[in-house]
Amino acid sequence: MAHFRHFIGGTFTQGTSGRTFPKYRPSDGALIGHVHEGGRAEIDLAVQAARAAQKGPWAGLTVDDRSDLMRAVADGITRRFDDFVAAEMADTGQPRSMMEHAFIPRGAANFRIFADVVKNVATESFQTPTPDGRGALNYAIRKPKGVIGVICPWNAPLLLMTWKVAPALACGNSVIVKPSEETPGTATLLGEVMNDAGVPAGVYNVVHGFGPDSAGGYLTQHPGVDAITFTGETRTGTAIMQAAAHGLRDVSFELGGKNSAIVFADADLDVTLEALGRSVFLNCGQVCLGTERVLVERPLFEALVAGLKERAEALKPGATLGPLISAEHREKVLSYYAKAVAEGARVVTGGGVPTMPDELSGGHWVQPTIWTGLADEASVWNEEIFGPCCHIRPFDSEEEAIAVANATDYGLSAAIFTQDLSRAHRVAAEVDVGITWVNSWFLRDLRTPFGGTGHSGIGREGGVHSLEFYTELRNICVKL
């Protein structure tokens, strides 16, 4: 039975409260470990360790030194690849292939790319005229913000945690990570890798727990935390922003989405179905960038519905489709399945719970589901579900498609499918989201800005854009 301990100041500790909570495996519901719950005392200790490290040995390193350590951490993840795969599979229940080919390699890649980005950042300099004619040199430098609170989601734990931790550390900050209570494994394991790589004690810290009146709440309220970055639900982001406002601290949020795909009648149907099959059902629909609203130009509507139905029914829960993260989340998703029918949807496929073999019967399984026939006012059309499901709706004009796609409080991502390049550029410019793919989905370049508009987030991450959040830009003027 595993015990997931805090990692504070380079040392694993059970903390002071003695409280633990159970960790269950999503695929079969089995108890696989106990997680030590942190509170105010553990956050105080973590802030002290993080501050001492950031002001001490970490601040004394050059950019090249930190870059080398980031690569050493990436190498450590690669060396312990099988351990990270096993930990993430136990935490999330998702298929081994997804861990081996996507989530764990990307965790290592995040450290490698920011090891390079931090060494290639330019700042401004100006020659400024002065009354005596001798002039002055005005230039800018970037300095680390200090101690960063990192609150992580459960849907891709290592990938999304390192997406924040890697640039924060590369910039010279220290971090306190609060993993999701659902997925404690890889954040804990990364502490061992940090020690093995030679990262100074206190630079990377982990405190497990929940939100209010637990580790997460105390982390967001602590005056010793200089900035907070969070990925998760919009409602939680609002609460964190309120807590951060008391200390006038910066926040960076990647929040929810209700993402649309717009499929025009001239789209390549095979290309479209391949992309939609992933964007709707990948990770059992638990992807912030996933598609829950599919808008199809009317001449292609029936063919696309039939094609996506075929792809959904080819998925095999327990083999090519993993479970939802928890029993609570499954109840939420199933409540939307029931609500869709009550709101007048036609169930094209799915809509319930699959029959599973005995050894997986205790897992959090749902059927991949497709609906048609909902009104635009339906809650299922407007609220994020975060499950393997979508509603497909016809449209008759480009203007209608854009208006419907933009009729949401969210604005994270969109996908456009057409062979008309001019139309692709035109529609992409009008859809009010942070990321738009054309004839594809989830083709990422880690140097480009990542983030959403509206209720989908605050700020941008990726490449130099991450450095803008994790550093303070300072102006220095030297009289010549």
Whole-number Cα distances in Å, 436 to 261, 413, 425, 450: 10, 6, 10, 11
Name the percent of the chain lying above pLDDT 90: 97
CA separation for the pair 318, 284 (Å, rounded): 11
* pLDDT band per the 50, 70, 90 thresholds, residue 307: very high
Catalytic: 288?
yes
284-301: average pLDDT: 99
Q: 6-21 pLDDT, tens per residue?
A: 999 999 999 998 899 9
**In sequence order, which residues have a C-beta less than 8 Å from that of residue 201 and are 6 or more positions away?**
9, 10, 11, 49, 53, 195
Count of other CB atoms within 10 angstroms of residue 370: 25
CA 9 to chain centre: 26
pLDDT at 122 over 90: no
Given this model, what pLDDT does residue 121 score?
86
Domains 2-255+454-479 and 259-438 belong to one CATH topology: no
**Tens-digit pLDDT profile for residues 184-195:** 999 999 999 999
Place 247 in a pLDDT band, splitting at 50, 70 and 90. confident
The superfamily (CATH) of domain 259-438 is Aldehyde Dehydrogenase; Chain A, domain 2 (3.40.309.10)
pLDDT in tens, 77-89: 999 999 999 999 9
Mean pLDDT for the chain overall: 97
Supply φ then ψ for residue 169, to 5 degrees: -70, -40
The pLDDT, as a whole number, for residue 246 is: 86
| 135: helix, strand or coil | coil
C-alpha 264/C-alpha 47 separation (Å) is 52
pLDDT tens-digit profile of 250-281? Answer: 999 999 999 999 999 999 999 999 999 999 99
Question: What pLDDT is stored for residue 11 in this prediction?
Answer: 99
Helix (H) or strand (E) holding 69: helix 63-79
pLDDT score recorded for residue 45: 98
Which residue shows structure tokens 């292609």?
300
Q: What are phi and psi of 33, to 5 degrees?
A: 175, 180
Active-site entry in 42, 88, 254, 297: 254
Per-residue pLDDT tens digits for 346-391: 999 999 999 999 999 999 999 999 999 999 999 999 999 999 999 9
* pLDDT at residue 224, as a whole number: 98
Q: Is the pTM of this model over 0.85?
A: yes
Q: Answer whether 209's CB lies under 8 Å from 15's CB.
A: no
Q: Residue 1's pLDDT band (boundaries 50, 70, 90)? A: confident
Instruction: Round to whole Å and give the CA distance between 185 and 89.
Output: 10
The CATH number that domain 2-255+454-479 falls under is 3.40.605.10
Provide the pLDDT for residue 97.
96
Give 11's contacts (C-beta < 8 A, 6+ positions apart): 201
Domain boundaries, the chain: 2-255+454-479, 259-438
Which candidate, 259, 286, 235, 256, places its Cα nearest to that of 381?
259
Q: What is the pLDDT at residue 59?
A: 86
Whole-angstrom distance, CA of residue 230 vs CA of residue 211: 12
Cβ contact 149:178 at 8 Å: yes
Catalytic status, residue 233 = no
Backbone angles phi, psi at 463, to 5 degrees: 55, -135
The predicted pLDDT at position 445 comes to 94
Residues 393-420: tens digit of each pLDDT: 999 999 999 999 999 999 999 999 999 9
